[in-house]
Chains A and B, each alone.
Chain A
């Protein structure tokens, strides 16, 4: 069974524990999916993915407030790594 934890980015970069990170926009915090015996400090836990969604989703605007995910470190949104054709 997995659970979700709100932790600091520093903690995440140190422990490298957890999957599917969701970052806040200044990348100071991250929500990870980890096992229920996750043993590192965290500021908040969530019982499941729906709880994470409910916490970061603004129902009135139907958008995520200040959170994002980007799985692709090679992502090149401005096209600087070309080549182009």
Chain B
């Protein structure tokens, strides 16, 4: 709960309780530093302060996408797999293909060494796929939304505004996570819907090659594939809080992000099995990409594509 906005403040019971919960060795400079305040230190700086980063805005999109334009300067393969997660709500009246996110590629215009999640409208499935460094698809798993507990039960209508699926989070968006453990077996891929793994999949493709050094972290994309440029399958709807990890985030931790973090920026969560994402982005202050960002490898993504998008406050 945020610090009160007026009146007398207690260093321990008001400020420390919000910043770090410490009950001894409490120093104003330490707390100010932890909260991001410079010197000179003043207790009044904490009026209204909240340690939980705000999540007041979301990205309403039709034809733009978030991605880096040049390879991240700290670029590596991902032998421990990869995980992508974010919040989505379709805004189309007729279902269409919807690109969710991708990671990979040492060359931006090619899909070599990539991991992607995309909604296939004609089959009402979300497909997870991994391509090797030459661009040959080596692993694939497809999840029919109507055969899983997503709430998108009518496969002919598909995933669209009047059938968005089961909405649990107060924000009204759906948490979708795609994980890959770095191997070439179809079971290396897993899709999560609102924190729970989906169990029914089809078109499961497995190969025998060693994928441990095939997929890169060079490019990331949210609402698109990093190699596809402007296209008709850019995500049309509401989005928020993408997280990208260069390792497999195990099921309980995915559930933790959904249940414990919710639709919020990733700063504090450090689940039982991992560290933080290498890239996370909030869209606060009307889409200021610098306000809430984890940018460990300097991807420095920017808004690309069309101009038909806006950052709106949650109702």
Asked whether A and B interact, the reply is yes
Q: List the B side residues contacting A79 at CB < 8 Å.
A: 202-203
Identify which of A9-17, A36-44, A68-76 touches chain B. Answer: A68-76
Interface size of A by CB at 8 A reads 29
Q: Please measure, in the bound complex, the distance between the C-alpha atom of A77 and the C-alpha atom of B231, giving whole angstroms.
A: 19
Q: Secondary structure of the B side of the interface?
A: loop
Any chain A CB within 8 A of the CB of B212?
A: no
| A20 lies within 8 A of B96 (CB) | no
0/1 string, A51-80, CB within 8 A of B gives 1 = 011001000011110011111101011010
| B305 lies within 8 A of A49 (CB) | yes
Q: List the B side residues contacting A64 at CB < 8 Å.
A: 96, 232
Q: List the B side residues contacting A68 at CB < 8 Å.
A: 97, 232
Q: List the A side residues contacting B308 at CB < 8 Å.
A: 50, 53
Q: Please measure, in the bound complex, the distance between the C-alpha atom of A62 and the C-alpha atom of B109, giving whole angstroms.
A: 28
Q: Please measure, in the bound complex, the distance between the C-alpha atom of A70 and the C-alpha atom of B225, giving whole angstroms.
A: 12
Least CB distance from A47 to B in Å reads 12
| B203 lies within 8 A of A76 (CB) | yes
| A77 lies within 8 A of B123 (CB) | yes
User: Can you name 20 A-B pairs with beta carbons within 8 Å?
Assistant: A19-B109, A19-B229, A48-B306, A49-B305, A52-B230, A53-B62, A53-B308, A56-B232, A62-B91, A64-B96, A69-B231, A69-B232, A69-B233, A71-B228, A77-B122, A79-B202, A82-B205, A84-B203, A85-B186, A85-B206
Given contacts A19-B109, A61-B94, A71-B227, 15 further A-B contacts (CB under 8 A): A33-B229, A33-B230, A49-B305, A52-B230, A53-B308, A56-B232, A68-B97, A69-B232, A71-B225, A74-B136, A79-B202, A79-B203, A83-B205, A83-B206, A84-B204
> Chain B interface (Cβ within 8 Å of chain A)?
62-63, 91-94, 96-97, 109, 111, 120, 122-123, 136-137, 161, 186, 202-206, 225, 227-233, 236, 305-308
> Chain A interface (Cβ within 8 Å of chain B)?
19-20, 22, 33, 48-50, 52-53, 56, 61-64, 67-72, 74, 76-77, 79, 81-85
